[in-house]
Amino acid sequence: MKKLSILLILFAGVCSAQKFTSDEISLINKGDVNAALPIYQTTDAHQHKTLLNLSSEINPTDPNTAVLVKRMKESLLSTDGGVGIAAPQVGINRKVIWVQRFDKEGTPLEYFINPVIVWRSDLQNLGPEGDLSIPDFRDQFYRSKVIQFEYVDLKGQKYSEIVEGFTAVILQHEIDHLFGILISDKKEKEKNDSYKKVDAYQKSDLNKR
């Protein structure tokens, strides 16, 4: 009965994802399906509009999803030191991201389908961020130090992870893309926010480490 319930949940998740449009299928399969897709830039009006759109869930078992995932990885590998990419950055407003896992040995690249952040720590870190889609832009941003997120793989299997540090920052950045949030706009909206600086550890704790 438990296995049946899990299967029903996965089936419901697949059904809730909208089918690819003909334009999406055409773009995903354009040219060499083993090659990188061009990375959209904010300097192009049409591409900028795509980057600002909300992304919808994707059917993980659709063959076109596997092609998109593969080509997104090639797009990320084609960059000079990029550590993450989201589907809107290759022109597809769907919930797929790639992230470099600095929290794992060998810092592997991993993909996540329909990722959702279900919890964020109140404790935040301040650090530099750039974006593959925004030329010559880099600034300091506050991000939660620890997050818990859920996602599925290409088989529709669901996972939940707790991640911290720089990998958590990358995940938050890429998931922002799925909501049409760019760091350039984020900085503008947050310019009037104020933060109180606190020490993450008491001195007595540091002496014990």
Q: Which are the catalytic amino acids?
A: 174
Amino acid at 59: N
DSSP for residue 3 = H
How far apart CA 95 and CA 86 sit, in angstroms, is 8
Both tokens of 92, joined, read: 């597809």
| Integer Cα distance of 162 and 151 in angstroms | 12
Strand 109-120 and strand 96-100: the pairing is antiparallel
User: 75-79 — which CB contacts under 8 Å span 24+ positions?
Assistant: 75/36, 75/37, 75/38, 75/39, 76/109, 76/132, 77/36, 77/109, 78/36, 79/39, 79/132
Gap between the Cα atoms of 55 and 202, Å rounded: 42
Phi first, then psi: give them for residue 179, nearest 5 degrees.
-105, 15
Which residue(s) pair with 129 in the sheet? 139
Q: What's the CA gap between 119 and 64, in Å, rounded?
A: 30
